Amino acid sequence: MDLTPELLLNGILALLIIKEVLNFVIIFTKSKSSSGDTTLVLSTLNRMEENQEKMLTSICDKCVVNSKQISDMHKWHDARDEDGVFLWYIRKSLSNAFDKIGNSIYSQNDILRQLLQDNKDILRENNELRNIVKENREIIEENRELIKQNTELMKRMLNK
């Protein structure tokens, strides 16, 4: 996190407080001094004012730079795609990949539905074949019984 704006504001506040304190010291010194000798305080105040102007200029320059950076960041974060979604939120390539994955899932679901239907059809046909095999076994058993009976009959007839 950039603390520059907070530091700048605190610096300005500190300079203003120092200036007021020095003004108070000058007034206090003038009132206490019988000779009016305030050169030390005045020279300190002058140096402080010069430094204050340099610092304020530096602070203003930094504020302008910060303002431009904030404006650029706002423009960049405010950019949107054709759907109105912020560009910094979802990359277009990522969105396309999600679309392709979604389409693949739909295709796989269609294939699975068809496989399920095919399996149901195969199960139904298998059950039908089991029933047919069961019926044929019964018929075969009946035919065996009939063949047995016919064989016995033929043997009897031949023996007679």
Rounded to whole angstroms, the Cα distance separating 32 from 18 reads 21
Residue 88 · residue 77 · CB < 8 Å: yes
What local confidence, expressed as pLDDT, does residue 80 receive?
81
Asked whether the whole model's pTM tops 0.85, one would answer no
Residue 98 · residue 90 · CB < 8 Å: no
H helix count then E strand count, the chain: 3, 0
Rounded to whole angstroms, the Cα distance separating 149 from 144 reads 8
Rounded to whole angstroms, the Cα distance separating 75 from 105 reads 37
Backbone torsion region of residue 33, taken as left when φ is above 0, otherwise alpha when ψ lies between -120 and 50, otherwise beta = beta
Beta bridge mates, 86: 80
What is the C-alpha radius of gyration for the chain, rounded to an integer number of angstroms?
51
pLDDT tens, position by position, for the chain (160 residues)?
565 667 677 777 787 788 778 777 777 666 665 555 556 666 766 777 777 777 777 777 887 888 888 888 888 888 887 878 777 766 778 888 999 999 999 999 999 999 999 999 999 999 999 999 999 999 988 888 889 898 888 888 888 7
Q: How far is CA 55 from CA 49, 86, 100, in A?
A: 10, 39, 57
What local confidence, expressed as pLDDT, does residue 47 receive?
75
